[in-house]
Structure 1
Amino acid sequence: MHGETLSPLLSDALVILGAAGIVIPVFARFRITPVIGFILVGLLVGPYGLGGMVYQHEWLFYVTITDPERLAPFAEFGIVLLLFVIGLELSFNRLWAMRRLVFGLGALELMIIAGLLAAVLSMMGQFWTGALGLGLALALSSTALVLPIAGTQTAVGKAALSMLLFEDIALVPIIFILGAMAPFAQSEGMEGLLDTVLLGVLVIALMMVIGRLALPRLFAQAARTKSPELFLAASLLVVIGASLATALAGLSPIVGALIAGLLIAETEYHSEVEGIIEPFKGLALGVFLITVGMGIDLKAIWANLGMITLAVVGVVTLKAVVTTVLLRMMGTRRSTAIETGILMASPSETTLIVLTTATTALLIQPGTAQFWQIVTAIGLTITPLLAMLGRQIAARVEPAGMTAQHQPDDSDQGRVIIVGCGRVGRLVAEMLTRHGKAYVAVDSDSELVEGCRRDGIRAVFGNAARADTFDRLDVRHAPAVILTMDEPVLAQRLTRRLRAQYPDVAIIARARDAVHAAELYKAGASTAVPETLESSLQLSEAVLADLGVAMGPVIASIHERRDQFREQIREDAGLATKPQLRTSTFAD
């Protein structure tokens, strides 16, 4: 074949990148999650789709994927990065605050669903060991799909996160328990489980101690270089190193990734790390979803359509009902419980891992495993549809609750954003603090950020030139953005971008002189403050006060002159009237 002269990995990369370039924009245009698109691409180009026709049509080699196993490491890496980012969004304090939900709600949800599924399968003729293995596998829900859909800051997202965290923690004991249930392996399996738990606890303890001491220094050094490449390398080093450490201890790599994220979340560099990792996570998750689609055999589905449909509907319904009831018993509002229950109803990507373990342990037959693998793949495919169904039902059940449950639970909502932690940025922060206004300062100079934090100024590390930095700072809800840096070109570029993306936010920018201020007004600034103008006004104020003029008239005349200068600058910039912007919430 001609395709054999081309590396299979290059061919697979062509398909994946092509899918990302087509699926994401097309589905975003129609406001549909790209999850469905990636799964459909996998179905189309996989061995059960066009990939199975390569030997009849050689040119299909370049646009199909014939061996899903080649993508397995990349798909696993996507899950690892997802758990790492989840850890970045959390913190040990927040995780401790969620302990009741994680080990209470999460444990109840997993055990009750697994027990009910095992009982039903046992009554249908499955031997009890295999029924228990299948019940545990199908009780798991998809971290890779649920959290990107629900987020971690909404009421639905927090409820789902607590259950998903327990499932991720329970994955290793589940695998060992199934191994211990294998014929002639009971004793060895339990001893292996105990050894792994002890070694895992030791490794996690070492990671937490070393991480708290080393990670701030590592990222501080990377930040001082102001090299995005070095920052990316340090981030990947941490997540891969932590994942390998827990994997070598016998735990899942995702446990190490989650702990690494939690440790970095305690530093001021977590936002920048999250922004740098995000594109890689999205692409790697796309690979995972493509592999899910590649596992769907339409011929096998058609041949067993009735049984597969019944299995999918039965599993989804049972999980949705149990999860909803448990959430209501825990005091969750009705709309949130219903939406979370439906969202968590489909099986998980880790279901496939548990099914493989159960098959290897001879608890279930290969044919049975293949049947439930198809059910799992279909369940993953319909997860976005379940999310939409859940939102619609929740809206009808409790219309007034929709806004509250999807509104981010963020105490920092409505804070002023100060770009720059230098002399001017510090002064602005101090004045905002004095007048009781919430704010956060952001700077790409780690030493300035550390100095501000030592002095009690709320500052975070971040590069404002990156397109996603303002999204992470939630500019959409900010009453104002204040640009304090002494970099004219960057100030104009940021002003132009902010005005295009957030047309209602007030932008107050520092300008070098009247000419620069005029350029900032053209770029969309609400107010531009020339340093030369302010120094002249302050000098005039000092002179008049020394000459004995009353301070009241002096301040009034200074304000009047300042307004005249600003109006003149706006006229020079070709702006006759000041745009109506949302500034009232910022003013005292």
Structure 2
Amino acid sequence: MTGIFLQAFVYLLAAVLAVPLAKRLGLGSVLGYLVAGVAIGPLLGLVGQETQSIQHFAEFGVVLMLFLVGLELDAKQLWQMRQRLLGLGGLQVLLTTGAVAGLALILNQPWQIALALGMIFAMSSTAIVLQSFNEKGLAKTEGGRGGFSVLLFQDIAVIPILAILPLLALSAPQLDAGHEDMSLVAGLPAWANALVVLGAIAAVVFGGRFLTRPLFGYVARSGLREVFTAAALMMVIGIAALMSLVGLSPALGTFLAGVVLASSEFRHELESTIEPFKGLLLGLFFITVGAGIDFEMLLSQFALVLGLALGVMVIKALVLLLLAKIFRLSGSDKWLFALSLAQAGEFGFVLLGYSQQQGIFGSELGGLLSMVVALSMFLTPGLFILYERIILPRVTRSTNEREADTIDEQGPVIIAGIGRFGQIVNRLLRANGVKTVVLDREYAQVERLREIEMKSFFGDVSNPELLHTAGIESAKMLVVAIDDVEGATALVRHVRQQYPQVAILARAFDRGHFYALTEAGADWVVSESFYSALNMGGEALIRLGMHPFAAEQRKTAMVEREKAHASELYDAWLEVRDNIDRRERYLKLFIKLEEALKEDMGKDRMDGHSRSLSGWTPPPKGYDKALAEQEESMRPQGAKD
């Protein structure tokens, strides 16, 4: 027991020390875990033979991760991505298998070994790639979506690969007398095997659709969170066990269960319950990969192992670049797609061990290939760093340095920035017959708008020549909505100085930016989140029982109070900005504003309605009393007593 505690302490200490440091250096948590494993394994020798056993246990983190991924999708989304799932994923597996097998044949390997190696190295690391996508915010990019489609198809492809590998055996299978996997399909004819597999999948779908709701409802009513956690883990482990018994991938089964439960009312509770276990087990898995590297073999055959690892990664990257071109992934998305999936994956360890058991190749070659898989996974975080720090800035720079579009029309309103904010302004103006000239410095955004027939022009809006071409001299108004705090302020200042007749409306990100735009000369500034947050606050008051008229009244009072104190706060902000030690004054003014706001909220202004309230019907006399009586009548009898 003491040994288990010491081993757990070593693994956790390595993670606690290495991962935050790696994150601070911008290397990502995955590389931190891998380095931690190398430190406690090959370098310091603090862990030993138990690493491989722990790795098999930690692979359950991949199962949990795919369950959570499934919860983020539903059947409709899965159907929409069918083209990439089958096209990108299917072609990637086939082309990579062929390319790696061809290289193995050139190296004088038998065709059976070559084909097995092709299928093994066609797999990529679901754990590393999805973890890195989520950490770096790349999951929603086109490259990230393409990568996810390929990874999902690879998990499905493991099933036929496991069926094909025994057919490639060069010698008798290596039976393990001390261990025999449990199976519901062993010895069954093909048709019976297929029926059992279909029955297992149907059980997962049926259970997820009809049995989980009463189960989790029953558990939730107990009010014991730990029992809900136990129920969630029981479900995932049970599905994984069922999939293993019928010869399917546990990760695929739990992914399917996640998709079925994506529309369940327990979805978010399941996510929050499973997430900590997923993160811990994935971290443990990465540590075991680092700790399992055989440095003696690596050093004795370093050139061979490194050459094979780089060769496999280059082949996979070239195949992925070809597929990116076929499926029209361009720019940074193309490079993200190719670099993120260039490594071998955790399923490679499983397939290598299975291949050795089936007699396809011996333990010596298996050990060498395991080193190649581990090294390629170890190098993957470096590929993400290459993408983020070298490729992405260059691709972005080359895109933004392209020649600006020729502007062939002018209008009374110029909109600088056509992101989510500028689009709404533009749509409203055009719907009311106002002609606009839309400019944006992000070429990809301009292209997306052209696809929906919303005409816009690419170019740097801070360029005086571009503004001149857009007709700034004759324009009546400039709307500034670019996603650049300093750039927006500089643009407002330039137009105010050079074209004082133009009205300037600007979007601010926060209160400080609001004041900076005001000082630069904007005629009207709105905080991006103020009115949306105000509307949500009003809706919250209504849903808590306040009459809509009263809620609208308090929203108006807050706007008026903000305006009343705007001048004082602006003057105080100028003093703070100019390095005058008046921060205390600014804070006191802000506290004064909050106190005045509370006082306004306590008033019931039934007379003198503002313009924004003129369309409202006031609550009837005695509304508050009637509401209180209604709530009292709805309470259970026991609660009244």
**Which residue in 1 is equivalent to 2:304?**
307
Measure the CA separation in 2 of the matches of 1:174 and 1:477.
Answer: 55
Measure the CA separation in 2 of the matches of 1:230 and 1:525.
Answer: 47
Asked whether 1:272 is paired with 2:269, we answer: yes
Aligned mate of 2:207, from 200, 205, 210:
210
Consecutive unaligned residues in structure 1, runs of 5 or more: 1-5, 52-62, 403-409, 416-474, 487-507, 509-520, 559-588
Consecutive unaligned residues in structure 2, runs of 5 or more: 174-184, 401-418, 425-527, 542-557, 559-588, 617-641
Q: TM-score, normalised by structure 1?
A: 0.66
Asked whether 1:284 is paired with 2:281, we answer: yes
Cα–Cα, structure 1 residues 14 and 124, in superposed 2: closer, same or farther, change >3 Å? same
Cα–Cα, structure 1 residues 358 and 64, in superposed 2: closer, same or farther, change >3 Å? closer
**Which residue in 1 is equivalent to 2:6?**
11
Pairwise CA distance, 1:323:
0.5
Measure the CA separation in 2 of the matches of 1:477 and 1:175.
Answer: 57
Kept in 2, the 8 Å contact 1:292–1:377? The answer is yes
* Equivalent residue runs for 1:79-158 within 5 Å: 79-151=62-134, 152-158=139-145
Pairwise CA distance, 1:66:
4.1
Aligned mate of 2:343, from 343, 346, 351:
346
Measure the CA separation in 2 of the matches of 1:477 and 1:116.
Answer: 56
Cα–Cα, structure 1 residues 485 and 171, in superposed 2: closer, same or farther, change >3 Å? same
Deviations 1:204-262 (A, max 9, x none): 11211121112233334444455432332222122112111211212121122212221
Kept in 2, the 8 Å contact 1:346–1:383? The answer is yes
1:396 aligned partner, one-letter code: R
Q: What CA RMSD, in Å, does the superposition of the two structures yield over aligned residues?
A: 3.8
1:30 aligned partner, one-letter code: L
Aligned mate of 1:241, from 233, 238, 243:
238
Q: TM-score, normalised by structure 2?
A: 0.61
Cα–Cα, structure 1 residues 368 and 205, in superposed 2: closer, same or farther, change >3 Å? same
Deviations 1:345-384 (A, max 9, x none): 0100111111111111111121111111111111111111
Deviations 1:304-334 (A, max 9, x none): 1211121111111110011111121112223
1:480 aligned partner, one-letter code: A
Measure the CA separation in 2 of the matches of 1:525 and 1:213.
Answer: 54
Aligned mate of 1:40, from 35, 49, 60:
35
Measure the CA separation in 1 of the matches of 2:274 and 2:78.
Answer: 22
Aligned mate of 1:396, from 394, 397, 407:
394
Aligned mate of 2:146, from 159, 180, 193:
159
Pairwise CA distance, 1:16:
2.0
Aligned to 1:382, the other structure's residue is in SS state helix
**Which residue in 2 is equivalent to 1:319?**
316
Kept in 2, the 8 Å contact 1:179–1:189? The answer is no
Asked whether 1:182 is paired with 2:169, we answer: yes
**Which residue in 2 is equivalent to 1:23?**
18
2:36 aligned partner, one-letter code: V
Q: Report the count of equivalent residues.
A: 432
Kept in 1, the 8 Å contact 2:74–2:263? The answer is yes
Pairwise CA distance, 1:480:
2.8
Kept in 2, the 8 Å contact 1:144–1:285? The answer is yes
2:163 aligned partner, one-letter code: F
Measure the CA separation in 1 of the matches of 2:287 and 2:119.
Answer: 25
Kept in 2, the 8 Å contact 1:176–1:189? The answer is no
Pairwise CA distance, 1:73:
4.0
Kept in 2, the 8 Å contact 1:242–1:257? The answer is yes
Of 370-379 and 147-156, deviating more is 147-156
Deviations 1:479-507 (A, max 9, x none): 53856889xxxxxxxxxxxxxxxxxxxxx
Measure the CA separation in 2 of the matches of 1:44 and 1:101.
Answer: 40
Kept in 1, the 8 Å contact 2:171–2:360? The answer is no
Deviations 1:137-168 (A, max 9, x none): 11110000011112432222210010001100
Kept in 1, the 8 Å contact 2:171–2:359? The answer is no
Aligned mate of 1:200, from 197, 204, 215:
197
**Which residue in 2 is equivalent to 1:50?**
44
Kept in 1, the 8 Å contact 2:101–2:117? The answer is yes
1:78 aligned partner, one-letter code: G
**Which residue in 2 is equivalent to 1:293?**
290
Aligned to 2:59, the other structure's residue is in SS state helix
Structure having the higher Rg: 2
Measure the CA separation in 1 of the matches of 2:207 and 2:420.
Answer: 31
Asked whether 1:480 is paired with 2:478, we answer: no
Measure the CA separation in 1 of the matches of 2:241 and 2:247.
Answer: 10
